[in-house]
Structure 1
Amino acid sequence: MLGAIALAASWAFGSTPSMVVGVGLVLAGVFARLWARRAKGSIDIERRLLPGDRLEGGDVRIVVRVRRTRQLVGGTIALRQRLGSIDEGLRMHGLQAEIAFTGLPRGRHRLGPLEVTLSDPLGLERVEDRFDDGLSVLIRPRIPTLRSLFSSLGARESGAARSTFRRPSGFEIHAIRDYAPGEPLRGVHWPSTARRGRLMVKELDDAPRDDLVVVLDQDPDGCAGPAGNSSFDAAVRAAGALALAHALWGRRVVIVGSSPSFDAVRVSSAGHDWDVALDALASVMPVVGARVVGPLRASAGPLAHAREIIVVTGLPELAVEPLLDLTSRGRSAALVAVAAQTFVGRPRERSQPALLRAVAQGIPVAVVSAESTIEEALAGGLTRSLSA
């Protein structure tokens, strides 16, 4: 259009320079249009995630390689990529580029379509394309390594003696029945035999028992704060730190959520089991209606076979009563209360009747807040202050 206007002006006024300008603009427009037609489908894109530990707050790098299927005269290639809530763009220099994302929160993030824009050398025409291979990126939480643990100190400081008895894994008595001829005598249940006056034998059932169960409360009513720096993210880190600490001490640990949709994860070492646990902790999210009372009151599941239970919750007032019931039945219990209000800038409540009641009954208590690190909160200092 500009070229046509310049040519019309040159004809009207008899201006040779205007004619040169008009012809140049027309030729530039024709060149740009022909370049754009040839540019369509002229490249293949390969997108690859660089290996490495993908931890919250860290970097995720994506390599983009371009292969030309058709030669073009000049031009530029611009990329735009979205990962989760972060959008990055750059202009390629050469046929390979690296896109870096920083500060990603814990969770599973979808890798959006890669938007590719080809521009002609004069910047008059653009060709846009999208490449999507349906990838997602799992960002794991940063789990601290604990040097000391409140639950090994709190009960003794509160004046309660903690039982060292641990039920072994293996077979337990499932039923008592009459002796059948030919059965080995080592299976005889002598108390029942003496009581009934005839041989009675034990039927055994395989019932492995876990040393410790860590319960993560997924109730959104106890969560506050932005993604990546929320009280639930702190609860996930605390649950992971407790599980890792006990696994490093040679104990068998099970991580369960308050939602039935969360599959229990067993951790017996810091190897493959821990990798599976990290993936589970990376993707766990709050679930509406997932009250922590549910798994604590359940008569079946991992908690039915565990001797010790640690609950991580933002609603400790709901967990104290079930934990007291468990301790009355010979279980050991501990409580990690997450002060959700501190993750939105409000001060922590210093006097909480539910926590004071738990401490008075010999349940070790730790309080996780935005004002301290996970290591400091789980070391036992807050338990001592609550006991005082």
Structure 2
Amino acid sequence: MNLIKLTAISASALFLFTVAILLRATELYLMSAAIASLPVLSAVIVLIAKRGIKCAQIMPASTHEGTAFSIDTTITGAKRALGPVWADVTLPKWLEPCCNTRSIRWSGASAIQSIKVIPKKRGLYKIGSTVLHLSDPLGLFLFSRKHTIESRLVVLPRAVRIPGLQATLPAGGGWDYDMDGASVYGGGTEFHGVREYQHGDDLKRIHWRSAAHYGKLNVIEYEQAGRGHLVIAIERKKGTEAGKGPWSTLECSIKIAAAIAKDSLKAGASVRLSGLPDGSAASLYGSGPDHLGQILYSLASLEADAEESIGPTLLRELGGMSKEAAVICLVPELTDDLAGHLAILAERGVRSHVVLLLSERGAALPSSITDRITSAGALFTPVECSRVKELAHAT
């Protein structure tokens, strides 16, 4: 199309120039020169405008796996080009456009381009360069300019509930999976301490003595009686992950762990993740919506890069586990070492539940190891990754 336009302009200028020579008409000389200079002038306009055009990106800081979101690119000074302007955002792997269309709206002299993107896999992403495309007013030439815009996105894992899994998990001690039972943070029956007043707290729980002493409102914090403690351990030793992409054994383990953490916290349990670096908020027992956010963020960043398996890690953390604690292990394979470590946990009064992620349908289970695991008092549930995928797509 651009070549056709340029050919038409050139032919028109050449025709007028030829007629001007034959008729010796000065005006026609000027007209042919003006027409011939149009492409140059059109290109110069864009080249000058390109210097003053800037790009910025607006996007959410976090989203959930499988949930579409918008990336808005603001092109400041776009009207200076006097022609079409658009941007191509460089997306990392697993972030895919919902469709091949983009919408552009104008706000003053700025153009705002929106594209819908759907994350196929949880993780920490960096969205880098944006290529700005400008066309001249006549639509003859296309100029591109690369803008380095670094935006970071946290894709939280999708929570996938396995039917029957919650029902088979260790019961008692407050580890209740009743999804209808709402809990109020700090509103249990056992005295836990005093903390600073937060919006929405019951005014009846204000601790007037400390409020008078410190000059600020404090409230009495209670704990749910018999609140259970849950430890979620995900096997992520190097080389243990089976499968690739969003439905590998590690990815399915994280999806199941997200659902277990969400349901457990909603039911009033205190939850933490095993094997995280010291100082990580998700590695400490916690409850409430804020702690769920910390757990999901930690799950979003996990990779199969650990130096040791979950068994030795759990034994190292055993000192911080109460007798009411329960451990759920999500693993891609069963080993004799794991069975031995679970037996030690059982001797210390810690209950455990092993969820085995199978990368292939109908994979055979090692009966000798499963017998050792169940004889150690642990519950055992095999889950196929294909089943996790089906459940995720059904919700």
Please give the alpha-carbon distance, in whole angstroms, between the structure 2 residues aligned to 1:125 and 1:210.
Answer: 68
Q: Which amino acid aligns with 1:61?
A: S
1:264 Cα offset (Å): 4.6
What pairs up with 1:1-388 in 2 under 5 angstroms?
3=10, 7=14, 23=33, 26-50=36-60, 54-68=63-77, 71-72=80-81, 74-85=82-93, 86=95, 90=102, 92=104, 94=106, 95-144=111-160, 148-152=166-170, 211-257=229-275, 264-298=282-316, 302-303=320-321, 307-317=325-335, 318-339=337-358, 341-342=359-360, 347-373=362-388
- Whether the 8 Å CA contact 1:151–1:365 is kept in 2: the answer is no
Please state whether the residue corresponding to 2:262 is helix, strand or coil.
helix
The residue number in structure 2 matching 1:178 is none
Please state whether the residue corresponding to 1:71 is helix, strand or coil.
helix
TM-score by length of 1: 0.68
Please state whether the residue corresponding to 1:221 is helix, strand or coil.
coil
Closer, same or farther in 2 for the Cα pair 1:91/1:141, shift >3 Å? closer
Please give the alpha-carbon distance, in whole angstroms, between the structure 2 residues aligned to 1:366 and 1:327.
Answer: 18
Unaligned runs of 5+ in 1: 154-167, 171-208, 377-388
Please give the alpha-carbon distance, in whole angstroms, between the structure 2 residues aligned to 1:97 and 1:46.
Answer: 10
1:106 Cα offset (Å): 0.4
Cα deviation per residue 1:170-215 (whole Å; 9 max; x = unaligned)?
A: 9xxxxxxxxxxxxxxxxxxxxxxxxxxxxxxxxxxxxxx9823221
Please give the alpha-carbon distance, in whole angstroms, between the structure 1 residues aligned to 2:340 and 2:277.
Answer: 19
**Aligned residues with identical type, % of pairs:** 18
Q: Which amino acid aligns with 1:71?
A: R
Closer, same or farther in 2 for the Cα pair 1:329/1:92, shift >3 Å? closer
Please give the alpha-carbon distance, in whole angstroms, between the structure 1 residues aligned to 2:345 and 2:240.
Answer: 22
* Larger relative contact order (CA 8 Å, sep ≥ 6): 1
- Whether the 8 Å CA contact 2:329–2:353 is kept in 1: the answer is yes
The residue number in structure 2 matching 1:189 is none
Please give the alpha-carbon distance, in whole angstroms, between the structure 2 residues aligned to 1:141 and 1:64.
Answer: 26
- Whether the 8 Å CA contact 2:351–2:377 is kept in 1: the answer is no
The residue number in structure 1 matching 2:179 is none
Please state whether the residue corresponding to 1:308 is helix, strand or coil.
strand
Please state whether the residue corresponding to 1:40 is helix, strand or coil.
helix
Please give the alpha-carbon distance, in whole angstroms, between the structure 2 residues aligned to 1:91 and 1:359.
Answer: 57
Cα deviation per residue 1:223-250 (whole Å; 9 max; x = unaligned)?
A: 1233222211111122222333332332
- Whether the 8 Å CA contact 1:50–1:63 is kept in 2: the answer is no
User: Which shifted more, 76-85 or 138-147?
Assistant: 138-147
Closer, same or farther in 2 for the Cα pair 1:327/1:78, shift >3 Å? same
Please give the alpha-carbon distance, in whole angstroms, between the structure 2 residues aligned to 1:306 and 1:264.
Answer: 19
Q: Which amino acid aligns with 1:265?
A: S
CA RMSD of aligned residues (A): 4.1
Please give the alpha-carbon distance, in whole angstroms, between the structure 2 residues aligned to 1:42 and 1:144.
Answer: 48
Closer, same or farther in 2 for the Cα pair 1:76/1:302, shift >3 Å? farther
- Whether the 8 Å CA contact 2:315–2:341 is kept in 1: the answer is yes
- Whether the 8 Å CA contact 2:57–2:71 is kept in 1: the answer is yes
Closer, same or farther in 2 for the Cα pair 1:272/1:93, shift >3 Å? closer
Closer, same or farther in 2 for the Cα pair 1:251/1:263, shift >3 Å? closer
Q: Which amino acid aligns with 1:124?
A: L
Please give the alpha-carbon distance, in whole angstroms, between the structure 1 residues aligned to 2:96 and 2:85.
Answer: 17
Q: Which amino acid aligns with 2:332?
A: G
TM-score by length of 2: 0.67
